[in-house]
Amino acid sequence: MLNNLRALRPLTWVLIVWLVIFIVLPSFVTSGSPTQTHPDEQLLLPSAAYLLGTDYLGRDIWSRLLFGGQNTLIQASISTAIAVAIGTILGLASAMSFPVLDRALLALINAALAIPGLLLALVSLTLLGRGSIALIVAIGITQIAPVALIVRMAAKQAQLTDYVLASYAMGASVLHRTHAHILRAILPLIRTYALIVFGYAIMNGAALAFLGFQSPGTPDWGVMLADARNSFRLAPWPAIPPGIALIVTMILLNRIAIRLDRR
């Protein structure tokens, strides 16, 4: 366990610094506007004035990368919170309820899992429209059922442990057993799976933004990749920074999730 913690600590700090730069510090790292266009400075190569060059509208790619990361990661964080909170409640309710209610909730969860996540997100966006709020809700909805199923299975297993059975024998209420024993026992699993959901939310948020479900011009890694298509053959550099940012973020999240799972 100590070896895993030693291996995890550097990765954790790298991820924290990475996220802080994009979520908290973009305005301190750059003074450029992510939305201001400069028609006479289109598709400039990286230079002292523009660290990563400009896109086809003359916008500063460095500024858009930072503020786009802020938008992308905050959206993914809120989507993850929605999925984990609602999924955990449903999973615990199913595991701790009467058999009839358990079967009904499990049928509902399995029905949701039968629908591909991307298709469910597209249906949700059709009803909600496009924009940041619609993306947050649509991505969060797609992950509620997987979280609920994971939590239900873990809670069912935790109910068979000696201390939970002893608590039941002593007359503890369902709420007490759930809060004091079951939830604490499965909390490490929820944290690990939340990282997986967070990575899913980042990638699918970027994918849906790439497909045009984000408001046009919004600083967003997916929007940046979509905009880069307009000039990719002539000037490929606008597509490289957001692509690398997505790859690095996913690698960090996956590595940390693997380390936490081994613990």
What's the confidence (pLDDT) of residue 218?
A: 87
Q: Look at residue 9 and tell me if it is in a domain.
A: no
Region class of 60: left (phi > 0), else alpha (psi between -120 and 50), else beta: beta
List the beta bridge partners of residue 60: 54
Q: For 56-71, give the DSSP string.
A: TT--BHHHHHHHHHHH
Q: Look at residue 250 and tell me if it is in a domain.
A: yes
* Letter string b/e over residues 201-215, b meaning 16 or more CB atoms within 10 A of that residue's CB: bbbbbbbbbbeebbe
Evaluate whether 139 touches 206 at the Cβ level (below 8 Å): no
* CATH, residue 233: 1.10.3720.10
Question: What is the DSSP code (8-state) at residue 54?
Answer: B
Nearest-Å Rg of the Cα atoms of the chain is 22
Q: Which of 89, 96, 85 is nearest to 156 (CA)?
A: 96
Q: Look at residue 25 and tell me if it is in a domain.
A: no
Q: Look at residue 45 and tell me if it is in a domain.
A: no
Q: Quote the number of domains for the chain.
A: 1
Give start and end residues of each alpha helix (H) in 97-214. 99-113, 117-128, 132-142, 144-158, 162-169, 174-177, 183-210
Give the pLDDT means over successive 10-residue stretches in the chain (263 positions). Answer: 52 73 75 85 89 91 90 93 96 88 92 90 90 93 95 90 75 74 88 92 93 88 91 89 90 79 63
34/221 Cα distance (integer angstroms)? 12
Q: Look at residue 14 and tell me if it is in a domain.
A: no
Q: Look at residue 15 and tell me if it is in a domain.
A: no
Evaluate whether 95 touches 182 at the Cβ level (below 8 Å): yes
Evaluate whether 121 touches 141 at the Cβ level (below 8 Å): yes
Evaluate whether 92 touches 149 at the Cβ level (below 8 Å): no
The backbone torsions φ and ψ at residue 173, rounded to the nearest 5 degrees and listed phi first, read -70, 165
Q: Look at residue 5 and tell me if it is in a domain.
A: no
Residues in the chain: 263
Per the structure, the complete domain to which residue 134 belongs is given by 50-262
Q: Look at residue 55 and tell me if it is in a domain.
A: yes
64/36 Cα distance (integer angstroms)? 10
